[in-house]
Amino acid sequence: MKYHLRFFYFSWLFWFSNIFILNDRRRAIFLGAAYPNLIVKRNVKLRRNINFYGGHSCKGMVEIGENSFINEECFIDHSSMVSIGSNVAIGMRCMILSSSHNIGNIVRCGKDKRMVTTIKDNCWLGAGVIVFPGITIGQGCVISAGEKIDKDIPDNILVKNGNLIPINM
């Protein structure tokens, strides 16, 4: 019964915020107040259809820094901590993951592995980027559309076609 009530509550929040709240900043304020595991700082803009998923346990947190922007249809798994810095822009249909599973002998999808995922300040993730669990993306990085980030990225790097290109500052 508790799971059903939680599902109904989060479904209601999702639909209400997408249908009735037209302003991106107001949507961020509303979701920050309504979601128990979402910390939204000043001037954050959240577009429609962003799915904050924490699984059955909802033990993780999502923290979004000042002046950040998350575009439509993004999926953020907060089974563990997800930290998004200030002045971060996240493109459409990005996936930010914070959990995986151990691979077992009999049951392939074994016990949960929860890892902290961090996107530091002043980053830009293009459309369709997938950030794997436990990854840290350094400050000032630009990730091209469609990239799969499966290892840590140092500061001020452009990731394009799997290549790490330094950005001259």
Backbone angle region of 165, left / alpha / beta, with phi > 0 → left and psi within -120 to 50 → alpha:
beta
Cα separations in angstroms, 96 against 6, 19, 22, 113, 139: 22, 24, 24, 15, 17
Which ranges constitute the DSSP H helices of the chain? 2-19, 24-34
For domain 2-166, give the CATH number: 2.160.10.10
Q: Give me 114's structure tokens.
A: 């929860």
Residue ranges per structural domain of the chain:
2-166
Identify the pLDDT of residue 63. 96
Per residue of the chain (169 residues), what is the pLDDT tens digit? 666 677 777 787 888 888 888 889 999 988 888 888 889 999 999 999 998 887 655 678 999 999 999 999 999 998 889 999 999 999 999 999 998 777 766 666 667 778 899 999 999 999 999 999 999 999 999 999 999 999 999 999 999 999 999 998 6
Identify the pLDDT of residue 160. 96
Residue type, 80: S
Identify the pLDDT of residue 56. 59
Identify the pLDDT of residue 148. 97
